[in-house]
Amino acid sequence: MPAAQSSGPDGEDTVIEQRAADHFLAARVRDAAPSPTLAVSDRARQLKSEGIDVIDLGGGDPDFITPQHIRQAATDAMNGGQTHYVASPGIPELRKAIAAKLKVDNGIEVDPAQGVLVTPGGKAALFQAAMALVEPGVDVMVLEPAWVSYVPMIELAGGTAIHVGLDPDDNFAVMREMLEQHVTDRTRAILINSPNNPTGRVLGHDELVALAEFARAHDLMVWTDEIYEKILYDGHQHESIAAYPGMAERTLTFNGLSKAYAMTGWRLGYVAGPPAFIQEIAKVHSHSVTCATSFAQAGGVAALTGDQAFIGEMLAAWDRRRHLVHDGLGAVKGLRCPLVEGAFYAFVDGRETGHDALALADVLLREAHVAVVPGTAFGEAGEGHVRLSFATGDDVLEQAVQRIRDVLGRH
């Protein structure tokens, strides 16, 4: 809240900002840190405003414009008067399109009327689920490195995030023994993300089988974030754990249109799963956002039911760029840059440079003027790493890679 001020007897303003923080703010908010990825982009913008030529590779925003047929559908909806409230769970046409997509692409059967909730972005779906299903005394296991917002969402809901650090020297593989070491009698769910942000790993069939068996053995829910499911390389296949035997009744599938359809600014996501859970999450949704934007939902229908060729065009560009980053940074002494399997991030291993994650990111920003995210923003398993996005133009990416090579070549 803005600083409140009052004039003292000597005419000087007395600032009560600290009292406001101590007295009025909830502890759960005081203890929460801002998003590290957004902080990196904010810092890059600040430096640019000071006249410094910074290349920002910290975000996760595709550098493509939303396809024309999707934009046209939203425009037609607005011009046709669809500028009002709509059904809180989402317009029926979009929920049906989502259910059809889940059946065809993922092998998941859901009831579009009761088992699908449309939200303003996938982040909102995850946050609302945390508010509905997590409370003090509840643990949620998070496989790390993990997207920066998972843990704060769990903690804002009053729960405890159990950090399950995966081994970078084993390609961040998921093993049953590791999961067993972290489960407690308070554990209610495990949160997974494949293709993974930040590592680019795609969970294999055997790993998903192990996760499913573990969840059933301990009677856990699985929250699966599948926002990057269509961004795959080298023949890697995405599998949805909800399609595995005995998993549909205990799995919430989170997804959205931001990444695959270049619709980050539209804020359109969803969660699908058992109606008993979706209807409770919908309570939080109805009391917080009412509904996702009406005309954006019309665009969502067009995205899911229209021409999908655009995705292949984006994939071709991202595939080219991941090789550019892999080849360019992999040749730098002290860096290891695995060829990612999915998504559009490179999780660069800089442990042999002698820098920790924060120091390496700082060197790249101060000396190379390239903004990247320190790996520890994604959990301690990311120590010594930095994440950079290759969802940007080839020329910009080539320049960023060359700057990094030049700077680290001097260290």
Query: Tens-digit pLDDT profile for the chain (411 aa)?
Result: 444 444 455 544 555 566 666 788 888 888 888 887 778 888 888 888 999 999 999 988 999 999 999 999 999 999 999 999 999 999 999 999 999 999 999 999 999 999 999 999 999 999 999 999 999 999 999 999 999 999 999 999 999 999 999 999 999 999 999 999 999 999 999 999 999 999 999 999 999 999 999 999 999 999 999 999 999 999 999 999 999 999 999 999 999 999 999 999 999 999 999 999 999 999 999 999 999 999 999 999 999 999 999 999 999 999 999 999 999 999 999 999 999 999 999 999 999 999 999 999 999 999 999 999 999 999 999 999 999 999 999 999 999 999 999 999 876
CA–CA dist 29, 159 (Å, integer): 14
Strand-strand pairing, 139-144 and 373-374: unpaired
Helix axes 394-410, 357-366, angle to 10 degrees: 110
Q: Which CATH class for the 30-65+310-410 domain?
A: alpha beta
Which of these CATH numbers, 3.40.640.10, 3.30.2270.10, 3.50.50.60, 3.40.50.450, describes 85-305? 3.40.640.10
Q: Structural domain boundaries of the chain? A: 30-65+310-410, 85-305
Q: Which of 345, 402, 347, 336 is nearest to 369 (CA)?
A: 402
**Which pairing describes strands 139-144 and 116-119: parallel, antiparallel, or unpaired?**
unpaired
CB atoms within 10 A of CB 96: 17
Give the H/E segment covering residue 144: strand 139-144
Q: What is the pTM of this model?
A: 0.93
